[in-house]
Amino acid sequence: MKNLLLFLLLAVTVYSCKKNNQLEADIAQINIDVEVERFDQFFAETNAETLPKLKKAYPFMFSKKYKDSFWLAKINDTLQQMLSSEVNKTFSNFSDTEAEIESLFNHIKYYFEAFNPPRVITTTSDVDYRNRVIVTDTIAIIALDNYLGSNHEFYTNIPKYIKSHFKKEQIVVDLATEYAKKYIHQAPNKTLLDEMIYFGKQLYFKDVIIPFKTEAQRIGYTKDELNWANINESDIWRYFVERELLFSTDSKLPSRFINPAPFTKFYLEDIDANSPGRLGQYIGWKMVRAYMNQNKVSLKKMLITSAEEIYNNTKYKPNK
């Protein structure tokens, strides 16, 4: 019997791998071609004579409330020149990132046929890390000075749990996050469960859209942080259930369990010190995964399904 079970498990694994490989091959054939527009370089090389031409090509990159003298002064500003220099060092070759963006767009197009690939434009933003990526229906803007490496000197005064994501490998992850927000339709979050499911949807979207990234990269954890969450998953879930937090509308809960933070605030000294932040997002991810495994629902349909319906139709029970 034991040998039979092992054989069946192996057969299922092989079948699943073949199915996934065929799916990825089908998606790759969509073959969207991306030509990243390096506005950051164009801007750095601009002078008084060429500025009008650049403004005409990229009017949305220049606020009308500023005169040309402002932009020329910015180009010659010492800090701006340092930013441009460091960006050029890190992104002298953009081909790997460009290939990941193409794969991201191929996956979105496969699952959302109406998707039209945007212009992809790079810039610098004086390390405005709250707006590392901006996505609209027609353009995607990436501020490269936010991806120079977690230990870069520009980020000295930024908390470690925030700057840990400031590396070029995370660019496509941040793009996927912004697109997830565009496709998720959910009533305004009222309970902790609403928050958990909303971010669980985001993370599941990234499972499907950027499968070439690791789970740790998709959620923005280190390998050790993800291992800690996996090992303690059952205890985390029990904590939420026993304290009846899932349907609580306490406005303090998101800051404890959802929002970016150096650790999750269980108010248990021995646990808090070792935990990563955002464990409410992590459990929401696990719940949405369980829902998708147990129900025949498309990605598009799941993204507009209510948090309550997902919860009520999910037999989520973490392994101890």
Tokens of 196: 């958990």
Q: Domain ends where: 183, 209, 225? A: 183
SS3 295: coil
Q: Check pLDDT > 50 for residue 256.
A: yes
Tell whether 231 and 113 lie within a shared domain: no
SS3 241: helix
- pLDDT confidence of residue 22: 86
pLDDT tens by residue, 160-173? 999 999 999 999 99
Q: Check pLDDT > 50 for residue 183.
A: yes
Helix or strand holding residue 13 (H, E):
helix 2-28
What mean pLDDT comes out for the span 264-268?
93
Q: Check pLDDT > 80 for residue 292.
A: yes
What is the Cα–Cα distance from 31 to 105, expressed in whole angstroms? Answer: 9
What is the Cα–Cα distance from 274 to 268, expressed in whole angstroms? Answer: 10
What is the Cα–Cα distance from 191 to 88, expressed in whole angstroms? Answer: 45
What is the Cα–Cα distance from 50 to 18, expressed in whole angstroms? Answer: 53
Please name every residue paired with 134 in a beta bridge, in sequence order, or none if there are none: 141
Asked if residue 207 belongs to a domain, the reply is yes
Q: What is the DSSP letter of 304?
A: T
Q: Domain ends where: 183, 216, 248? A: 183
The residue that leads in pLDDT, 309 or 22, is 309
Tell whether 52 and 146 lie within a shared domain: yes
Asked if residue 317 belongs to a domain, the reply is no
What mean pLDDT comes out for the span 246-263?
97
Q: What total number of domains does the chain contain?
A: 2
Tell whether 53 and 172 lie within a shared domain: yes
Please state whether beta strands 139-143 and 119-123 pair in parallel, antiparallel, or not at all (unpaired). parallel
**Residue range of the domain that includes 48:** 39-183
Residue type, 180: A
Residue type, 205: F
- pLDDT confidence of residue 19: 64
Q: Domain ends where: 183, 217, 249? A: 183
Task: Quickly list DSSP for 97-164.
Answer: HHHHHHHHHHHHHHH-TT--PPEEEEE--SS-GGGSEEE-SSEEEEEGGG-B-TT-GGGTTS-HHHHT
- pLDDT confidence of residue 9: 47
Tell whether 138 and 258 lie within a shared domain: no
The residue that leads in pLDDT, 224 or 1, is 224
Tell whether 127 and 174 lie within a shared domain: yes
Mean pLDDT of the chain: 93
pLDDT tens by residue, 95-137? 999 999 999 999 999 999 999 999 999 999 999 999 999 999 9
Tell whether 162 and 43 lie within a shared domain: yes
> What strands, in cross-sheet order, belong to the sheet with 133-135?
119-123, 139-143, 133-135
- Closest by CA to 170, choosing from 143, 135, 137, 201, is 143
Please state whether beta strands 139-143 and 133-135 pair in parallel, antiparallel, or not at all (unpaired). antiparallel
- pLDDT confidence of residue 31: 83
Q: Check pLDDT > 60 for residue 1.
A: no
- pLDDT confidence of residue 12: 44
Tell whether 293 and 227 lie within a shared domain: yes
